[in-house]
Chain A
Amino acid sequence: MDEHEHTPEVIAKPELMPRFRDQHRFLLLITGTILIAIIMVIVSLVMYNVSGSAQLDLSRPGYTSVSDKVDRTNEITDYSAFGPVNKDTVKEFTNLYDEQAKKAKAVDAFNGDPLNPEVLEFGDPLSSTD
């Protein structure tokens, strides 16, 4: 008996819902689209920062002075993973490898100590005179 008493309420809700949806379909579409866009932007920004891509992005503000100094000329030729192995092909590879190894080791990157307090000029003046 109780179930029958509640039936009209249950039926009434689905009748109201489509009416609301029908009346505001465009608004709901726009709101939903904006929400999805916001979520996707947040996710992509988090990924951009967490993955380390942000650190390689020289188009960011503060990097404009160096963004045009990226070395785009140093394209390494692919050594084919398929083909015969003999003295000539190994020699060909070693020539390619030696050339690139020389370039890779040409710069002792991140050497020196530019963050040394003395370099940044707020160290102890007495210790620099010792």
Chain B
Amino acid sequence: MSEGHQNIRGWSWKMALRDGRKNRGRLLLFMSSIVLGIAALVSINSFGENLKDQINGEAKELLGADLEVESRQPIPDEVYSYFDSLEMKMIREVNFASMVLFPKSGGTRLVNVRAIEDGFPFYGSLETEPARQDKTVGGENVALVDQTLMLQFDAQAGDSVKVGKNIYKIDGEVLSVPGQSGIASTVAPPVFVKLSSLEGSGLMQKGSRIEYRLYIKYPDEFDPARFETEIEPRLEANKNLRFDDVEERKEEVGDTYSDLTGFLNLTAFIALLLGCLGVASSVHIYIKEKVTSVAILRCLGAGGGQSMRIFLIQVALMGFVGGTIGAALGVVVQYFLPSLFQGFLPFEVDLAISWSSVIQGILLGLITSVLFALTPLLAIRKISPLRALRTSVGDGDQGREKYFVYGGIVLFIYVFAFLQLGEWFSAMIFTAGLFVAFAVLTLIARAIMYLVKRYFPGKSSFVFRQGLANLFRPNNQTLILVVTIGLGTALITTLLMTQSVLLDKVKFSAAPEGRPNMVLFDIQDDQVEEVTSLTREQGLPVKQVVPIVTMKIHSLKGREAAAIREDSTSTIPNWVLGREYRVTYRDSLSESETIVDGEYRGRVENPGDSIFISIEDERAKDMQLEIGDKISFNVQGAIIETYVGSIRNIDWQRVQTNFFVLFPEGVLEKAPKFHVLMTRFDSPEESAEYQKAVVSEFPNISIIDLELILETVDAVISKVSFVIRFMAFFSILTGLIVLIGSVLISRLQRMKESVLLRTLGASRKQIFRINAVEYLMLGTLAGFTGLLIALSVGWALAAFVFETTFLPPLVPLLITWVAIIAFTMLIGLSNIRKVTNNPPLKVLRQEE
């Protein structure tokens, strides 16, 4: 290398800055397409970091104690004595679902009754209105009721609430509970009462799903690590006990929010990728216009690498500035996120700027810009200096290095997705999905160009021919616009459809005409007849009364469940073995059940005869059971041996009680059980009246109003979809910026063509129409392809993830499509207004 070439390292920088001076506007335009993606990422990341800090700082407040012990059975005395011997403080809680009645309004609702001792929580506080300082619920006959519940039934402090047979005076409303998010309390609003007040409420009967909790506070000098080394090993023999200490809770809450921020980050990442496509296409056109300049530089002695570096530096600077502006914007956006996540967080988040997220955002801006601009930049190295003499010489090609760049892009997207999702397979699906969408759109764009050229309507009008020809002429925008508009459309409509699929699934489960829409459970043996007649007296039909016995699997094919769980070679999932099964018995199958193997025997005639049960097909697969295999159940202490007599399929969409395991009659009649009754109401008044009557007479019975559940789920999904829409907004805006960018970048080319046409005598109207035809075609085809991709994704999600029928929301989709066409035309045509409104020569002079 000559001395001269060694001394000019700074020359590329100098040239990049000089050249950039005249191109500042265009470089800013490239940059703007990545700003929003970076802003979205930085805001979510920074918020996530703040959440993590908060979780770490307030972990004890999230749990309210150092350790929580939970059990479905009453906690044995030796557990209390053990903790007592360690000089630990304890607070007991009994927790169950129950109906409450507000006598003033007559309203009833299923709530989460938390009967608790004084002193809860050890850390943090139960926020109430009016505020309480003494950490007690209050007196024996006092209740603290969830704020939303109070609002729903228009209750005020001083009113009364009936829980079981007990009547409590409402002493205040609960604003927040340690570790519980707003959404959680919407589903099961808590009502706090004093534990000692529960006796005589008639609520704690056999079959009720009661949870016993013990909150523990370690002595000051106690090392929390002793939980794992000492406490857990000592108590783990009791299989009913579950433990949750601060570390575990921290992990659980942290995992939940890192899943959430990971998902939102991916949404933001798609906005950034859309922006990157914008960068790639803008740089591609930019470099095309620079070909002659590069050829001149090469004539003057500049090397290929040197020439490429000039533009690489410009792109990197642009990425850096874009990343910095994006990061700054992200920090601002972060302050809006707490209100967006309102209801999802179990605490208030103190926001601070997360510098690691800011730096990450800036670097991401730099890396993505360079990576995506590299393919067009590579071509610079191969531009022939001969081009300065002859315009017919080619633009230069990217060489084999472009495949390394493509590989780099795929790897980058995969690694980013992996870092967000934490699973290599999901990251692969994400990356593959993105590339399939990209490939489909590229293919469609190429097919459009090929087909329009091949079957060009030569006899159509001048305007139509010119507009169509713009789709395949040199310097056309077909590929880039179809890809960006299509990908943007696909993303936005996929989000729209996922929301609709989720809502449809819920609605589908709701009761159609004549089907039950109210479920009463926890009905005791001796209450069945009375409840049935009460229902009929109220004018409601008794659709179904089903006995339910709870049991656990004791052994499968002669092997004990515990042994299978400990066997690391077993492929039977642990949850299948450990869960509690709710089983019914009857002599025949219901409408929703179909036998797929074996035969259903509905009755065991003599005690001692073999018992043949029926198992749902999916569960039989999980348990690896076939007809004739032996399976024993532990029915609250008694072991019952059975054989698989049949395997059946269940239509879960039917609104009725369905069971994985079905027993024949003649076995479980004497076992401890409860009953479920299904009925149907037609008006809210009817429902309220009936619930009030049931709750007054049978306080232990819980009622689920499916209509209310639907409303609640709808509210939750609306909240979730609002968050998703907020993130999708970044993608939509980025898509618009990219669209504006690509149209503006090709402005000069368009101007020259249109001015030439005007010079040759074309009217303003004709030029306007030619461009209208082109953008109409682009918007229509790109939007349509995007919708097709979204429909495929929506169908796949419905079929494989949500397992429901796919009913695309046709009207919103149609509106989206029309809106996309309108936007494309609006932006495209606004570009041409200057030509149509000014004399040709003036336009050209201005543009040069």
B is bound to A: no
List the interface of chain B (C-beta within 8 A of A): none
- Interface positions of A (Cβ within 8 A of B): none
